[in-house]
Structure 1
Amino acid sequence: MSESSDEQAAMQHYLVCGTEDCQKNGQFYCNACHRPLCEQCRNKHENTPNTRNHEIVLYRYRKQQLPLEKCQDHPTRNVDIFCRECKTPICSKCSTMKEHEGHKFDDLEDIYAEKYALLQGEFKKIQKYFLPTSQDLKTGIEEDVKQIKKIMESIRTSMKAEAKSLKNLVDEVTSENVEHTHTMEKSLLEMLKSQETTYDDYITYLWKMSDQFQEYLSITNHKLLFKSKTLKIQPIPETTKPIPPVFTAGQFNKDDIKKLLGKVNFSNIDPAKRKIQPMEAVTAHMKSTEKQLEQSKEKSDMKQTLSLSSSVTKVCREYSVPGVNKACHVSVDKSGRLWVSDWSGNLVQTDLQGKQLQKIKACTQSAGYHTASQDGELIYTDQDKKMIYRITPDRKITEFIKTGDWTPISIHSSCINGDILVGMFRKVTRYSKTGKKIQNIQRDNKGQELYSVPYYITENINGDICTSDYNKDTVVVVNKSGKHMFSYTGQGSRFCPWGICTDILGHILVCDIVNESVHLLDQGGEFLSVILSPQQGIKSPRALCVDDENNLYVGQDGTNIVTVYKYL
């Protein structure tokens, strides 16, 4: 079945049980048989001697089946083992051969399942984050294209308007200059007209003088000619030639025009980077949605995708737990009842109104030593007796697991498959829900010890095992195979982690008793925020627990009060 087919199958109304002739909802999955099981067949599977130790999980947490591949050296055998030294897949018979003598082997199906889950996660990231986010960015670019075109068209309109304004000014100045030439022409013509009148008058004068001279020339009596007055001709009037105006061309070029007009330049401001939505927000959305699909049959009111709230809100519920002097650890069972313990070995159960239902004397000088199971039981450790006990819903206490030479400190019941995770001095041990030891985790890939005193332990939604180590002042996280993923050492010079839990979005919440605060980390160990501090009225937080309604229970040192907060 392809990845997309798997997703579609998981989102159908139900998967059919793999048991022959059973058509019920196969909501569970047997990793050993590789088939879905309904609740009834699961119970039968768990109670059948041949299959009681099979690992049964919710369908969404199933292990991918290893594809069948025949061994080249032993064609009748399937390849199902991985040799660490040779770094090659082999069959079980190959592991007995001389060339693999003394080598260490891993279950190839576990490696395949881990790689498959990794690739599946990367595929989901592409489908749910990278592609949609890139498409959103592309859509943003398309919007920017429209905006740029709009802005550039506005600039061009402004430039044309400015040029038109300049042209109007040029026309206005030219019109004034032309008008001035008319004035100058009129003045010159008036001057020439005056000169013309002068010569007209002088010519008239000359004609008059000419008549006089002619009259004198016609006199017969010469004696009278001599006696007459001598006529003198007035000189020709002098006038000046007009000096015409000279046109001086303007001194300008294209650059001068450019200086007069506005221009467009790129801004020297550094461009802002496009906002890319963090993957954490999207993956949180994905995980929340998946969790809701899984719980939709049991919790019909959980219909909206959860996300981090902008602030932490104190809910109306606040429990004053009788019988304990400090709320050092809190567990919430399926009915919503509280189990609260202090540092003196008092373990008390209360109802939803804070009324004490039962009290037992457990181990002393311990922290996260109890946990509520999927079956409604409470499981707790006793350091002195090196024993793990369980309390059934009918209040019966029975011995469950003997830890031998190892001292159990902290404990957690897996919500994924019911496994029991136990923090001990210098190691973490995984037991099946029937009490069978199936895994020890002690060292990282460099051979260094991972743990010293893991006071609190929990499991994340991806199977990661999270511990707060008192001696190391460190939160240590390994994956379900025991591979060290990361360590968190706080945000300041000092960090002392105590209570630790995870939520439906894969966040890790941990108390810092030095700074009296609660830190919020993402699934990969990245610090997100301090969600509770003295500013929110919290004092000496020691215990943390998140219930099925995503309420955060916080127990405080020095008081028997457990306060409930909402931060999702």
Structure 2
Amino acid sequence: MMDPRTSAQDVMRCDLCETALVQMYCDTCFVSLCKACVGEHMISDELRKHDIITFQFRKSAPLYPDCASHDKERCEMYCSPCRIPVCHTCLASNQHLSHKLLKILQVLEETKEKIAKEKTELNETISPAYQDIVSDVQNRMRKLEKKYGNISTAITKHGEEWHKEIDKLVQKLKSEVEEMKTTQLHTLQKHLDEVNKNISDINDEINSIDVALGSNDMSKVFNLMPNVEEYKKLPQKILPSSPKFTPGKLQEELCQLFGTLSPISVRSEEHGYSIKTTEKSQEAASSSVIKQLLDEPQIVTTIYTGYNLRNVACLSDEEIWTHGNSSTMKLFSIYQGSRLKSIATKSGNTPGDLVVTNSGDLVYTDYHDRTVNIVKNEQIQTVIRLKNWNPRGVCSTFSDGLLVIMSKKVQTKVVHYSGSTETQTIQFDDQSRPLYSPGDIKYINENKNQDICVADGGATAVVVVNQAGKLRFRYTGHTPAPKNKPFNPRGITTDSQSHILTADYYNHCVHIIDQNGQFLRYIYCGQSYPQGLSIDTNDNLFVAQCSNKQVKKIKYQQ
């Protein structure tokens, strides 16, 4: 017979006697009891206050944690500074004097709420993001399989074409050999025929001499005149030269002629993937795609603006804002090339720089008015007014803030704003040396990895600091330059691959460097004094050209 105390199908038994049915519960010690064992349990530890309840209500009572400092004490309070549960004995000591104390049930509920939110985030945001990464990697693997298959097919096809051409070449060479052989054999045959004729003539001469010498007719002897001297002059010797076949080298030269494979690389990006949000889900989805630089960048379209340009900012994939040396900022249609609207600055001054925020509003700096302004519904509002500094470049951050590079006399700094509130200032390196040159033209942009990139014309360098303002690197150009002119950076922008692009004014080109400052390539598509740069959501580059009043839309990666 099965032991009732160990049967999984049996009812609950008392933890003390292990025989009687459970009727009571000690909520202090978490022990199940029958009524007969209640007294025994309470006198077993008289120093402890036992909370005895009926067994059916045990689930409603919380299981308080034991105190780590005092044996057999339970913790009903929570010390916020120490971040630990505490019992009544702990509270009676001086250990937690003047500390903020909370009911542990309150902390429990708050912790549960926080954990529930984190669970929701894991379920709804983080886990889908990882699933997207899995899909992205699997998709990339499929694309790689297809690309490598296409490469193998192309090599095979190219090899077949080479075989055809080689067969043609072999046949051509063999035909030439036959023609050479025929020509030289014909020459030798002709020479042989001439020699054989001479031999026949000599034989005729010999016969004539034999007849004359054997005859009694003296006239025959006197009339015989052998042509011995003529035959002593032997014919020229014909020495034909056969052609020599010299095979070409079949290793490195053949490989170069046939075709070579470019080296492969596998890049990793710390911020290559991002968690999707409702506001920027499209951007996050596109940012995880690894794009390759084109061997030859292509001009997609050219927009003629009618005035000398200083900068350009993409409002959308169809519209761009521009400004030049006047007080007017103009919006153009990319595909139609027509002007859609014009907005004059509030002060009548020429804008120093302009940018489009994440929400689509136009922001511009006014150097002489010492203001940063935003255009909402064609109404201009001043969001930042400076006292002793003059704003130059401005950019919108991924966190919807603004980065403004400003100068006064011999000082230059970058200031991070949240709305109109200054939240960070970046001016010096670790050795208290200025990061940026005084004055001169400067443009600014935030990279995807939150690096702050400044095109510093006065320093002839691109200066990049991290989010905390610590110098990461200075890029001072690459040689040889297309026009062999000194590096002169103007406009600056970044793309979804964290590439940094800067306009080189005097070399009429755009430099592409990676997020660590390594030169990748030039974009040289006939730009004339490029000034401002902007990137649309598909990583098309827009170049504002100072001299020919044009904006070029350029595709440089796929």
Structure 2 length-normalised TM: 0.48
Whichever of the two has the greater Rg, that structure is 1
Structure 1 length-normalised TM: 0.47
